[in-house]
Structure 1
Amino acid sequence: MNDERTARILALISDGTLLASLRRVAAASDRDLDDAPVPPTRRSWDDAGLVVVDHATAAAMETFPRRRGVVLVCSGAAGLADWQAAAAVGAEHVIALPDDEVELLAVMGAAAEPDTGGGRVVTVVGGCGGAGASTFAAALAWTAADRDDPNVLLVDGDPFGGGLDVLTGLEDRPGVRWPGLAVEGGRVSARALRDAVPDWAPGLGVLSTDRTASGEPPSAAVTAVLDAARRSGTVVVCDVSRSVGPAAEAMVAAADLVVLITPARVGGALAAARTAEWAGARNPNTGLVVRGPAPGGLRGADVAAVVGIPL
């Protein structure tokens, strides 16, 4: 359930056609629309979850205090005057109606979710083939959900793997996989995402690749998922392929911590050193996990010295 503040949209629109389009989008998103006189009261300005203005009404709002969640809508492609009005009122989005109603719908959906913050992203990368990165990522996500984090998302970033849904026993469970994830306007609703993916355990969802669809997820979709997780306080564990691509780079770059895992073997350490160079160039917060057994007697410190990142 949305609270009253995040659910209410303050509409400060002078154009009847724009207002009609706004009403359609609000109805589709199940949001309450408050068609207020211009200028509105300070309380209604401050308390609304989202404020939508047009070029004419934006000028009347320039003296109001800046706030987050202001959108300027316009008829057709935005012109210079629209962008100037948006800058004057501090609008975060300029959206053309009716052409970009889907983008406005996404903005409304995101605004309905309180930005609690506190979400964290850990990305696991295999230093070499067969390092056990997927198993480690799954175990890490399970541990996080089991201990103290009620919202955890395990994200599959390996388009050439068997799928994390198979690893977690969810291959026959209905739910959204990467190819079925719709990202409109560069944003995704964290609540909708949690509801759409299959659950491995209470509070632990899995966003997997799909074995019937080839290719990695678009990097824009990856960024939208990770941003939504951060806003909602979700812990995300990403399992990234060693096959470098835009999605893998996005998962590494966005992580609070990149975990590089490698077996305690000379060949594995040498391969991991090259992977560490690639990961470290995109995220300096990279650490090493060394997996046993060590048939040659290599210690973790020995492997770390070869790889060049801390244990």
Structure 2
Amino acid sequence: MGVKTARFVLLTREEAISDAVGAAAAAHGVEVEVLASADAALSSWSSADVVLVGGDQAAALASHGPKERTGVYLVGGDPAQLGRWSVPLAGRVIVLPEGLAALSAVLAEDRGLGAPVVAVVGGSGGIGASTVAAGLAVSARRRGLTAALVDLDPVGGGVDLLLGAERTPGWRWPDLLGARGEVTDVRRFLPQVDGLTVVSMGRPVRGGPAGEVPSGESIKAVLGALGRHHDLVVADVGRVPIAGARPVVGRCRMSLVVTGTGVRSVAATASVLGAVELAAPALVVRQQGGSRVPADVIGRALGLAVAGVLREDKALRRGGEVGEPPGRAGRGRWQRAIGRLLDGLAVKS
């Protein structure tokens, strides 16, 4: 598989917006296709990696009711105007010129790195974020996509356990701590689960010292290597990302924040959102027994679009107890919901 390059489109008729985006794009050596009509934007809606929507054209585009997707950003100088269309278009707001750094991060994200990286963040403890991350990666593999699951949560117990692969030979993070720069194809050294590439945290020996966590340089090098040889990279970053993982959640294609429907879970998620800068955050709402709060109400309370809703699945819970990878069965309402999340990522092989 060759190295992918991102395709960026900008919908605007406002010269100030196109000039600002064009200057930022030139600084990163990327091209942005400027479109002047909502119809033209709709024709590129599914194929573009990133869609930038000028505030001047947001209403026109929203009137067509485009299918919700990731990688949408509303750009312009009027915060109120951009905020008005953020939810209808499921887009992140970038106010110019104050948000030029955020715009630059979006334009730089996929350049030469290959596959999109999706970060999964736990809004509260024990909410099942690792299961969502694993489910996305396993489901992508079932569709014939090449996928990698990267564990960046040092206190999560190791994502290989979740996949039933704790005895599968291959390198874990302790073997990759020295990775720097552009490293070779590491797939042959890593555990494989049904064709899914896995990078798991190690587990310290009982009574021994805690294991060393990967640095930002190591994480960037490994993700870059995986991205050049996979269609999708899913990063399980836990609830509070380690220092080395913060650039990942700040520049990835999308950050899926898993929250429950209980009051404490929503409050905890609000705390996480306030403490961590996330790129293109969206909610995955896990419905919990006894709570009837609708997902859209939770989305409005947290100020984020809802990317998906997951209902309780007893079969999934039973499978987890015996190391059955989430999503392997490919059936059931939980798997269907994960499939819809995957659809929204618009991953291309």
TM-score by length of 2: 0.52
* Deviation, structure 1 residue 242: 1.8
Counterpart code for 2:199: L
* Alignment partner of 1:200 out of 193, 199, 203: 193
1:232 partner SS = coil
Q: Distance in 2 between matches of 1:178 and 1:211?
A: 10
Equivalent position of 1:220 in the other structure? 217
**2:133–2:234 Cα contact (<8 Å) kept:** yes
Question: Are positions 1:248 and 2:245 aligned together?
Answer: yes
Match of 2:22 in 1: none
Query: What is the alpha-carbon distance in structure 2 between the residues aligned to residue 228 and residue 253 of structure 1?
Result: 19
Return the alpha-carbon distance in structure 2 between the equivalents of residues 170 and 239 of structure 1.
Answer: 16
Local SS of the residue matching 1:237: strand
- Identify the residue that residue 181 of structure 2 maps to in structure 1: 186
Deviation of 1:185 (Å):
4.3
Q: Any stretches of 5+ residues in structure 2 without a counterpart?
A: 1-110, 205-209, 307-349
Partner amino acid for 1:207?
V
What CA distance in whole angstroms lies between the structure 1 residues aligned with 2:201 and 2:212? 9
User: Could you give the per-residue CA deviations for residues 110-139 of structure 1, whole angstroms, max 9, x where no partner exists?
Assistant: xxxxx9864111100000011100011000
Q: 1:247 to 1:234 in 2, by over 3 A?
A: farther
Q: Residue 223 of structure 2 aligns to which amino acid in structure 1? A: L
Residues 1:176 and 1:286: Cα distance change in structure 2 (over 3 Å): same
1:184 Cα deviation from its structure 2 partner: 4.7
Shift of 1:232: 3.0
- 2:126 is matched with which residue: 127, 130, 138? 130
The counterpart of 1:168, out of the listed 163, 169, 185, is 163
What percentage of aligned pairs have identical amino acids? 36
2:302 is the counterpart of 1:307: yes
How many Å separate the matches in 1 of 2:143 and 2:132?
16
Equivalence for 2:138: 142
Which residue of the partner structure matches residue 282 of structure 2?
287
CA–CA separation in structure 2 for the residues paired with 1:296 and 1:174: 42
Specify the alignment match of 2:340 in structure 1.
none
Alignment match, 2:88: none
Q: In the alignment, which of 147, 152, 170 is matched to residue 147 of structure 2?
A: 152
After TM superposition, what 4+ stretches of structure 1 lie above 3 angstroms from structure 2? Answer: 115-118, 182-185
Compute the TM-score of the two structures, normalised by the length of structure 1.
Answer: 0.58
The alpha-carbon distance between structure 1 residues 264 and 294, as it changes in their structure 2 partners (threshold 3 A), is farther
Deviations along 1:16-49, whole A, 9 cap, x unmatched?
xxxxxxxxxxxxxxxxxxxxxxxxxxxxxxxxxx
Unaligned runs of 5+ in 1: 1-114
